Structure 1
Amino acid sequence: MPVSVNEKATEVPERLTVGFISLLRSLGLKVPIGSAIVFQQALGKVGIGKRESVYWAGRTTLITDPEDLPVYEYGFQIFWEGATDPLEERMPSYQRVTLVTDDGLDAEEEPSEASKEGTDVINLKYSPSEVLWEKDFGLYTSEELNEAYELMKKMTLLGGIRQSRRKISSKKKSQYPDLRRTIKSALRTDGEPIRQRFFEPGERQRRVVFLLDVSGSMEAYSRALLRFVQAAVVGRRQVEAFTLGTRLTRITRELSSRNLDQAVSASSNAVQDWSGGTQLGETLRSFNMEWGQRGVARGATVVVLSDGWDRGDASMMSEQMHRLKKVSYKIIWVNPLKASPGYEPLAQGMAAALPYVDQFVEGHSLNSLGDLACVLSE
């Protein structure tokens, strides 16, 4: 039953955000994920005790087309002011649905009021971790971030296999004869080579380089993505991690601690431009000059985690992506905003980088990072 704004003032803003946006979408209003996140952040700033504050927080963050204003105001009245939806009188009656957390407990429960009254009730069981896999990182609580980190550690990040210069013995005939082992074997038979020996190139994991955008526009996602990168650093060899903002910062050593709190704290102290401006082209130039030529990116899978917003010169971005493309094995761009309905890569930096990207994927949820792990293994 709808309640007034003042009566909802003590509830968690996240629940209100999800409920209100779900209502607007059911009324036909398109609300991108990014707008929903900004709206929730606005509620956290202005509070939910005053009608005017809530109204304008939603109107300025959720409405981009003036023609959508009547729908917004209609939904606002229903959700925030407790107005009765006139459509309800013409809607058929439905069974009541009760969501039950599947926590593994088998204790007997008292029958609900609906059951006592004879109302049909459908119990839908769900697992909290299943909900977490689908949920947008921008809507995570601190507790959910920690739970998500435990799930991230279970992801297999192979990074692909490449041939190494090191040669290993082969039981099969190959194009590389092993003269030393062949002669050594012949000495056991009075110099008669009974069997020719061969070797083949060895294999090793391909290096993975993470470039994490920590600018202000990525604030809603960078804290979750940092945990994903940290899980990769401690979970396998041949991983390098850097942050991009107004400067380039290497954080591989800081993230190498298996204690998450220590790793996050150390990397936060090392990164001086956290939630600051965006100079993607310049920071990529720094990476190419300081680390690309040293071989860190050579033959590696480079993963850029960014929304593509760049205040710098688009030609700089294009040039540096071209240089990076020439030395790397492949470039994967992870953009959390890609999951938004109707998203198009129109941001200046994103548009300039896209021609040099091998795979363009989402990165807004655990499910999308699971898909990324599969892409890295290819």
Structure 2
Amino acid sequence: MAGTDPEPAGRLRADAVLLGFARALRAAGADTSSERVHTFLRAVDALRPGVRADVYWAGRLTLCGDRDDLERYDRVFAAYFGTGETPTRPTRTLVPPRMRLTLREAPVGPRPDGPRGERQGPPTASLASSVEVLRHRDVADLDAVERAQVRRLLAAFALRGQPRRTARRRPARRGTVDPHRTVRELLRRGGEPALLRRHARAERPRRVVLLVDVSGSMAPYADALLRFAHAAARGQRTEVFTIGTRLTRVTRELSHRDPDLAMASVAEAVPDWRGGTRLGELLREFLDRWGQRGMARGAVVVLLSDGWERGDPELLAAQMRRLHRLAHRVVWANPRKARPGYAPLAAGMAAALPSVDAFVEGHSLAALEHLAAVVRGADVGADPGGTGGPDKARSGDGTTAPRASGRLP
């Protein structure tokens, strides 16, 4: 009946789908703040939440902050809501918000109150609800069609390291007075009083180093994690290595824009697919050849592994302590962590955890989105791994213990 509010279940379902799209767009690198998301939800509510064109333009006008976000938005929208015709102009005629009854399929014909001949797109909820469910599915349990959809969503990811202040300064509206620019402004005005020019410390993202486990136990997740690494490698300060029985640097192979070409190049370059795991020895090799020389200094180092170690766990523990002293932050993403009743009882995982700042899941799209937020240093609430943040670490028995300081800034 017109004039009645929609059912709460349908309203919550629609909001969950739209929030999932906003999270996917944020994972792609767009600056989708909470204010923008709130405005997006209000705009969709004022239009027709079940119509593709209305959702597209509502998000494009509220969630994009600059020109760079437009290309990301189109890519994420196509991956999240499925392919379809993108409207060339926004719909002009609005529907009052209280006329929306529930999420249902819109009629295929022209709108009664809209321009003649304008066709409505497929219903947003039915297209995106499966994607929202897919975001939380374990990658190892997906079929071929679902894996292809996950690959499209992973291609829209972006990964940036936590920002840090540099020694360089840039002009700013607030900050300390810039004497050189202020004096130049006075001279330009012939000595007349002028506004004080100010500057502030510039920021740049920290380097991100990804160590992806491609051993046999990680085979169900290797493709998705490497595609996540491919999206991350589009940044200028990201390095990617594979670990198994050998350490292989694959940053150059992942530089291809096409994900499939990048995966083919990685397959040719990596000689130890589905082999054993020598985490301690390979971590030592990484630190000796690259990390100690500067690659890991002040960086965010992410290990994507289940923690199964064929070598000496004491060696792994010693190298993790060494890594922790060099890196700004050490993050471990374990796909097995999401399984019911999981405990870090594997010798390698238990040995590494005291030197880990954030222990997160890595089994699904939602888990990888959370991982990207952790790498960015965003405040994402309580860490699902319970590691207690950068000042505490989880010991082998699951308790938290304070960590000694002394790491590089």
Aligned to 1:85: none
* Cα pair 1:149 1:231 within 8 Å, conserved: no
Moved more, 354-363 or 236-245: 236-245
- Structure 1 residue 364 displacement after superposition: 1.0
Aligned to 1:218: 218
Aligned to 2:276: 277
SS at match of 1:360: strand
* Cα pair 2:241 2:247 within 8 Å, conserved: yes
Distance of 1:354 and 1:327 partners within structure 2: 16
The TM-score, its normalising length taken from structure 1, stands at 0.63
Aligned to 1:48: none
The TM-score, its normalising length taken from structure 2, stands at 0.58
Distance of 1:170 and 1:340 partners within structure 2: 48
Aligned to 1:130: 132
Aligned to 2:353: 354
SS at match of 1:311: coil
Structure 1 segment 256-295 matched on structure 2, within 5 A: 256-295=255-294
- Structure 1 residue 173 displacement after superposition: 4.0
Distance of 2:106 and 2:286 partners within structure 1: 52
Distance of 2:225 and 2:312 partners within structure 1: 26
Aligned with residue 145 of structure 1, among 144, 147, 166: 147
Distance of 2:180 and 2:193 partners within structure 1: 12
* Cα pair 2:158 2:231 within 8 Å, conserved: no
Aligned to 1:15: none
Aligned to 1:168: 170
Structure 1 segment 291-306 matched on structure 2, within 5 A: 291-306=290-305
Distance of 1:245 and 1:228 partners within structure 2: 18
- Structure 1 residue 125 displacement after superposition: 6.9
Higher-Rg structure is: 1
- Structure 1 residue 187 displacement after superposition: 2.1
Residues 188 and 224 (structure 1), Cα distance of their counterparts in 2 relative to 1, 3 Å cut: closer
Give the aligned length: 258
Identity percentage of aligned residues = 48
Distance of 2:231 and 2:104 partners within structure 1: 26
Distance of 1:168 and 1:362 partners within structure 2: 38
Aligned to 2:317: 318
Distance of 1:173 and 1:231 partners within structure 2: 35
Distance of 2:241 and 2:267 partners within structure 1: 12
- Structure 1 residue 193 displacement after superposition: 7.0
For structure 1, the residue ranges without an aligned partner over 5 or more in a row are: 1-101, 108-123
What letter matches 2:134 in structure 1? L
Structure 1 segment 1-378 matched on structure 2, within 5 A: 127-174=129-176, 177-190=177-190, 196-234=196-234, 236-377=235-376, 378=378
- Structure 1 residue 105 displacement after superposition: 9.0
- Structure 1 residue 106 displacement after superposition: 6.9
What letter matches 1:341 in structure 2? P
- Structure 1 residue 129 displacement after superposition: 2.0
* Cα pair 2:157 2:228 within 8 Å, conserved: no
- Structure 1 residue 258 displacement after superposition: 1.5
What letter matches 1:151 in structure 2? L
Deviations 1:36-86 (A, max 9, x none): xxxxxxxxxxxxxxxxxxxxxxxxxxxxxxxxxxxxxxxxxxxxxxxxxxx
Deviations 1:105-124 (A, max 9, x none): 979xxxxxxxxxxxxxxxx9
Aligned to 1:52: none
- Structure 1 residue 348 displacement after superposition: 1.2
For structure 2, the residue ranges without an aligned partner over 5 or more in a row are: 1-102, 109-124, 379-409
Residues 370 and 170 (structure 1), Cα distance of their counterparts in 2 relative to 1, 3 Å cut: closer
- Structure 1 residue 139 displacement after superposition: 1.7
Residues 230 and 192 (structure 1), Cα distance of their counterparts in 2 relative to 1, 3 Å cut: same
SS at match of 1:172: coil
What letter matches 1:314 in structure 2? P
Deviations 1:310-343 (A, max 9, x none): 1111121111111111111111100011011111
Residues 188 and 134 (structure 1), Cα distance of their counterparts in 2 relative to 1, 3 Å cut: closer
Distance of 1:144 and 1:105 partners within structure 2: 26
Deviations 1:233-274 (A, max 9, x none): 23x332111111111111111111121211001001111111
Distance of 1:187 and 1:229 partners within structure 2: 52
What letter matches 2:232 in structure 1? A
Distance of 1:336 and 1:173 partners within structure 2: 44
What letter matches 2:368 in structure 1? L
Distance of 1:105 and 1:256 partners within structure 2: 42
Residues 251 and 103 (structure 1), Cα distance of their counterparts in 2 relative to 1, 3 Å cut: farther
SS at match of 1:229: helix
What letter matches 1:376 in structure 2? V
Deviations 1:130-164 (A, max 9, x none): 33222211122333222102112334533321112
Distance of 2:106 and 2:312 partners within structure 1: 58
- Structure 1 residue 297 displacement after superposition: 1.6
- Structure 1 residue 189 displacement after superposition: 4.7
* Cα pair 2:174 2:200 within 8 Å, conserved: no
* Cα pair 1:210 1:303 within 8 Å, conserved: yes
Deviations 1:284-314 (A, max 9, x none): 1111111112322221111110000111111
What letter matches 1:169 in structure 2? P
* Cα pair 1:182 1:193 within 8 Å, conserved: no
* Cα pair 1:306 1:334 within 8 Å, conserved: yes
Residues 130 and 169 (structure 1), Cα distance of their counterparts in 2 relative to 1, 3 Å cut: closer
The Cα RMSD (Å) is 2.5
* Cα pair 2:213 2:222 within 8 Å, conserved: yes
SS at match of 2:349: helix
Aligned to 1:116: none
SS at match of 1:166: strand
Distance of 1:257 and 1:361 partners within structure 2: 28
Distance of 1:251 and 1:125 partners within structure 2: 39
- Structure 1 residue 190 displacement after superposition: 4.6
Residues 103 and 326 (structure 1), Cα distance of their counterparts in 2 relative to 1, 3 Å cut: farther
- Structure 1 residue 228 displacement after superposition: 1.2
